[in-house]
Amino acid sequence: MLAYFLCYCLGVLPKGTKRMARRNVLITGCSSGIGLALAVKLAKDEQKRFKVYATMRNLAKKQPLEEAAGHSLGKTLEIKQLDVCDEQSIKTCVNSIPDRRIDVLVSNAGMGLIGPIECQTIEEMKTVMDTNFFGLVRLLKEILPDMKRRKSGHIVIISSVMGIQGILFNDVYAASKFAVEGFCESLAIQLTFFFFFNRLSLIEPGPVVTEFERKVFEDGMKMDLSAADEETAEMFTNIYLKNYKQIFQSLGQSAEDVAEIILAENPPFRHQTNTLYTPMTTLKYADPNGDLPIDIFYKMVFQHDKIFSASLNFIKLLRWRSRKSFDLGKPSQ
C-alpha cells in the first residue's frame, strides 16, 4: 500500500495502468537510510520507468547501495558524487546527466542535531542549516531553471514532522526544517504558474529507524553538557535521551516504508508518512494560538511521563504482536 503511494507521488500509476517515458530521478543522500531505500526501489521498478541518479557526498560509502542495487547497478541506477553544501559538486553532477535532464529531484540529504543550545557551537548549528536548508536552495538554483524552461518537473523534499512542530531539544534541527517548509510554501505558488499544478511535495516523516537515529543518539550521549545548568543537563539526559530509543521503537517507520510513500500522482503539497504521529502534529492545527501543543508536550514529559511511556510500550507491543509494522502511511482511498 505504501508502494502504491510512493509510485503515486513521483507521477506513476500502479502497474499496467499507464505507460510513461523513462524519467530521470536525482536523489541526494543515498549512502544510507531513506535515500538508499528510495533509490533501490525506483531502480528495481519492474517496468523500468526510472533512471536513477543516486548521489552521495562521499563515494567511499557506496558499497551498501551497490549491494542493495544488485543487477540494476549501471543499468537503471548510477551512483554519482554530490555534496549539497558544495555548489561546484552539484553543478558537476547535473552537467554529467544527459541534456541535464532531471524529471524528478528528491532532496533527501540531511542531518540532525539534538541537545541544549548552550552546549552546541554556532558552527555546528550553521552546518545543520547549511545542509538541511541551503542544501535544498543550492539544488534548486541549479535544477529549477531547466524545469521551468521545460515546464515540467517534480520536486520531492524530505522535510519532517519537525518542519511543522518543534520538539524538545531539537531547536536548531526543527528551525532548519521550518525554513525548508516556509521556502517551499512560497515557491509552490510560483511553480503552479510554470507547471500548471503543484509539482512540489513535502514529505514529512515522523521517527524513522536509520543512521540518522543512531548518529543523533550517539552524539547526544557523548555531548559535553558542562555549559548547561544542572536542571537542563538532567532534563536532556534523563527525559529526552531516556525516551529517545523507546519513541523510535514504538513509533518508528523503516526507511523502506517511507520510500514507498514518496512517489504519487497528484500528490498533496504536504504528506505526513506516519499515522501514529499525526495526533501530535494535529495539536498544532487545533489551536491557532499555539499554546495547546506546548502545554500537552509539557504535560506528557513532566507530569504524565509514566502514562506516556506506558502508551509507547503498548503501541510497541501491538506492533510486535501483529508481527509487522502497522501500515502507517496508507493513503486514504
Distance CA 222, CA 237 (A): 11
Q: Answer yes or no: is 61 a known binding residue.
A: no
Distance CA 31, CA 33 (A): 7
CB of 214 to ligand NDP, least distance (A): 8
Note the residues at the interface with ligand RET (CB under 6 A). Answer: 160-162, 167-168, 206-207, 240, 243-244, 247, 280, 297, 300-301
Cα 77-78-83 angle, rounded to 5 deg: 125
Q: Answer yes or no: is 48 a known binding residue.
A: yes
CB of 228 to ligand NDP, least distance (A): 24
Instruction: Tell the residue number behind the cell numbers 519513541, with chain if given.
Output: 247
C-alpha cell at 175: 528551525
Q: Answer yes or no: is 40 a known binding residue.
A: yes
84, interface contact from ligand RET, ligand NDP, none, CB < 5-8 Å by kind = ligand NDP
Q: Answer yes or no: is 43 a known binding residue.
A: yes
Q: Which is nearer to ligand NDP, 11 or 35 (CB)?
A: 35
Q: Which is nearer to ligand NDP, 32 or 76 (CB)?
A: 32
Distance CA 238, CA 220 (A): 12
CB of 257 to ligand NDP, least distance (A): 12
86 close to 142: Cβ distance less than 8 angstroms? no
Long-range pairs for 231-235 at CB < 8 Å and ≥24 separation? 232/116, 232/118, 233/116, 235/168
Closest CA to 77 of 65, 88, 86, 60: 65
CB of 51 to ligand RET, least distance (A): 29
CB of 324 to ligand NDP, least distance (A): 19
301, interface contact from ligand RET, ligand NDP, none, CB < 5-8 Å by kind = ligand RET
Which residues, including other chains, have CB under 8 Å from residue 319's CB and lie 6 or more apart?
Answer: 250, 325, 326
Q: Answer yes or no: is 41 a known binding residue.
A: yes
Q: Exactly one of 173, 240, 244, 277 is catalytic; which is it?
A: 173
Active site residue 173: yes
CB of 253 to ligand NDP, least distance (A): 8
117, interface contact from ligand RET, ligand NDP, none, CB < 5-8 Å by kind = none
C-alpha cell at 104: 524528478
Q: Which is nearer to ligand RET, 107 or 243 (CB)?
A: 243
Distance CA 83, CA 7 (A): 26
Q: Which is nearer to ligand NDP, 50 or 248 (CB)?
A: 248
| HSE-CB for 283 with a 13 A CA cutoff | 17
260, interface contact from ligand NDP, ligand RET, none, CB < 5-8 Å by kind = none
Q: Answer yes or no: is 36 a known binding residue.
A: yes
Which residues, including other chains, have CB under 8 Å from residue 248's CB and lie 6 or more apart?
Answer: 207, 209, 213
Q: Answer yes or no: is 83 a known binding residue.
A: yes
Note the residues at the interface with ligand NDP (CB under 6 A). Answer: 28-35, 56-58, 61, 83-85, 108-111, 131, 135, 158, 160, 205, 207-208, 210-213, 255
96 close to 80: Cβ distance less than 8 angstroms? yes
Amino acid at 145: P
283, interface contact from ligand RET, ligand NDP, none, CB < 5-8 Å by kind = none
Catalytic residues: 173
Q: From the annotation, which residues make up the binding site?
A: 29-57, 83, 160, 177
Q: From the annotation, which residues make up the binding site for NADP(+)?
A: 29-57, 83, 160, 177
